[in-house]
Amino acid sequence: MPVDPVALTADLVRCPSITPAEGGALVHLEKVLTEGGFHCTRVDRGGVANLFARWGRQGANRTFGFNGHTDVVPLGDEAAWTMPPFGGQIKDGYLFGRGATDMKSGVAAFAAAAIDFVAETPPDGAIILAITGDEEGDATDGTTALLDWMAANGERMSICLVGEPTCPDVMGEAMKIGRRGSMAAFFTVTGVQGHAAYPHRARNPMPAMARLMDALSSRALDEGTDHFDPSSLQVLTIDTGNPATNVIPAQTHATVNIRFNDAHDSAALTAWMQGEADKVAADFGVQVAMRVKVSGESFVTPPGALSDLVGKAVEAETGVKPALSTSGGTSDARFVKDHCPVVEFGLTGKTMHQVDERVKVDEIRQLKAIYARILRDYFG
């Protein structure tokens, strides 16, 4: 009997797998995949649950990979939900619940497609499912742990499809062939505290921070590249915490976020910011400390065989030719790209991370059909 991706999505939504809790989602998937003929291995690391599943011979001449996650973001204001957030209930053609869109439906669709495919037409090759419980969190012990384990155990995907929601409004309209890089920089400017009436006895860090933030945010990083929009630096906060009206503070803090395209890497951007910080420190006679956190580098999978494979299947099942996009935030494709060529395709993501997150039931079935066609075309 074919695996129902709607029922499987509902089962997964009922698992309260808020990062980093496993919540029963991977336990259930392991049972379903094992019954479907997949060899499953838990690859837990750092308190994070991960699942590796393979059908077929290790080291096969070609191995198709799927990647996804079962962890979800917190509920927000639970009282604002009109449907139980972990109920997996269907109403008016929609399946409701946290993770319904991002991305338990995607995992259910590719698991169902893979199980049915190997049962109906066992392929000459292998299929790997790499599913993590740490995509919405720090992502240090999720897909990276799976890839590390695969490298240590001789497992390899030839190509990979990440099942994140990629379509803004209409099913089939976009697939991701890359992602912008993402990094944050945290600045602390330290001066000398003093009385506002005697500024010559103090050294105010505020003008220095204002100058630094202006220097960083005023620069146009680039005008965009062949596959990416222009890079963007945004000042997120400037925090001093000074309640007094007559005290020059000793210290102030600021945070910026940069989403950058393939014209840059994090090392070059870090060096540029450090240079600007050093200039401000010298000009104002203050100390400027900077700490950087890199979430991922920019990457692009050049249009070609993989994007054509996915695009043709999407168009065949939806009647819509997907645009090749690099928009949005980060995904675990930023890790997979160091292992093998990777693209992303999934359903519409209009309600992801929102209260009353929901997905059209018909889209879940359509997504399974797309994934099944991709497998048939790849192995056929």
Q: Is 135 a catalytic residue?
A: yes
User: What is d(CA 345, CA 358) in angstroms, rounded to the nearest whole number?
Assistant: 18
Closest by CA position to 128, among listed 44, 42, 67: 67
275, 268 Cβ separation under 8 angstroms: no
Is 22 a known active-site residue? no
- Calpha distance 344→106 (Å, rounded): 11
Q: Which of 379, 380, 373, 314 is nearest to 56 (CA)?
A: 379
Choice among 134, 135, 141, 155 that is catalytic: 135
* Rounded CA separation 336/350 (Å): 25
Helix 5-13 / helix 25-35 crossing angle, nearest 10 deg:
150
Q: What does the block give as tokens for 280?
A: 């401000």
Instruction: For the chain, state the CA radius of gyration.
Output: 24
8-state DSSP, 102: I
* Residue 203 β-bridge partners: 192
- Candidates 30, 71, 164, 262; catalytic one: 71
Residues catalogued as catalytic: 71, 135
